[in-house]
Structure 1
Amino acid sequence: MRRNKIIPYRQDLKLKARELRKNSTLSEVLLWQEIKDKKLLGFQFHRQVPLLDYIVDFYCHELQLAIEIDGDSHENKGSYDKKRQKELEAYGVCVVRFDDLDVKKMIRYVLNEIAHYIHNIDSGSATPL
């Protein structure tokens, strides 16, 4: 199960993504420590990845799986997030979202949910969390 599809992106977002990597939130740092270097089921994740007109928090090319952490910056942006997710899904990207506080306080739960979702991708029954 190797999808590894290339998703187009705006070149100008590369610099912004680099900035975001340098200024990660605590939740992003905590999750990154757990999923980097193929620590999660042997899949390679990258952080702050440009896709289309957006930058996703974490992305696995093999699975076409984006992980988003919703913190203060997502407040009052529900319609924007839905539009963004719909556009990414049109390219075959599955988007899973976690609340910032869940990552900070229940990292094991978050990792278990991601692992469960990955297993569902392998079985062909994945639906966004």
Structure 2
Amino acid sequence: MRGRRTRMWQSPRSTRQSRRLRAVMTGAEAILWSMLRNRRLDDLKFRRQAPVAGAIADFACHEIRLILELDGGVHDLHGARDAARDERLRIAGYTVLRFRNADFSRNPAVVLEAIRRHAEGRRQSPHPTGSAGHLLPRGEKGPRD
């Protein structure tokens, strides 16, 4: 299974589940979302309760391939299931960072700093011949002028 790309599309079922989860966020999730939404943290685009690789991630930033999970006490009972899910996301190319709700509530800066550390060097820089290539002066786009 290593090296194989996991399918990333949304199904009607995962869309319904994502919408339901967005409506019932925990207090810690709501606070973190207020810090991440609308590119508030270092201009990174996060999605909440987003379907990724057959799972629904609490928060996902596709640009830096990062999944954030805020876990309550119920996750103590599902360690093996969480580990299998994290492995599936890792195979799909994502890094999963898990934090306890209580730890985040005591010190949100720890989570924000972990995001920033992960983002260093992982941002995709625009390629001159890519989608913004048309904005460069003629002759600077590369070999396909």
TM over 0.5: yes
Equivalent residue number for residue 87 of structure 1: 88
* SS of corresponding position for 1:8: coil
Distance 2:31 2:104 in 1: 7
Change in Cα spacing, 1:11 to 1:51, as seen in structure 2 (3 Å) is farther
Q: Which amino acid is the alignment partner of residue 43 of structure 1?
A: L
Distance 2:52 2:85 in 1: 10
Equivalent residue number for residue 78 of structure 2: 77
How much has 1:52 moved relative to structure 2?
A: 2.7
* SS of corresponding position for 1:112: helix
Q: Which amino acid is the alignment partner of residue 75 of structure 2?
A: H
How much has 1:53 moved relative to structure 2?
A: 2.5
Equivalent residue number for residue 28 of structure 1: 29
Equivalent residue number for residue 126 of structure 1: none
8 Å CA contact 1:10–1:52 kept in 2: the answer is no
* SS of corresponding position for 2:122: helix
TM-score norm. by structure 2 comes to: 0.75
Which consecutive unaligned segments of at least 5 residues does structure 2 have? Answer: 1-6, 124-145
How much has 1:120 moved relative to structure 2?
A: 5.3
Distance 1:120 1:96 in 2: 17
Identity of aligned residues (%): 30
Distance 1:58 1:105 in 2: 19
Q: Which amino acid is the alignment partner of residue 119 of structure 2?
A: I
8 Å CA contact 1:102–1:110 kept in 2: the answer is no
Q: Which one has more relative contact order, counting CA pairs under 8 Å at least 6 apart?
A: 1
Q: What is the alpha-carbon root mean square deviation over aligned residues? A: 1.5
8 Å CA contact 1:66–1:95 kept in 2: the answer is yes
How much has 1:112 moved relative to structure 2?
A: 1.2
Alpha-carbon deviations, 1:16-73, whole Å to 9, x = none?
A: 1101101100010011111111111111001000123311100011112110011123
* SS of corresponding position for 1:75: helix
Q: Which amino acid is the alignment partner of residue 31 of structure 1?
A: L
Distance 2:76 2:102 in 1: 13
Distance 1:8 1:77 in 2: 25
Larger radius of gyration: 2
8 Å CA contact 1:49–1:59 kept in 2: the answer is yes
Number of aligned positions between the proteins: 117
TM-score norm. by structure 1 comes to: 0.83
Q: Which amino acid is the alignment partner of residue 73 of structure 1?
A: V
Structure 2 counterparts to residues 47-126 of structure 1, below 5 A:
47-119=48-120, 121-122=122-123
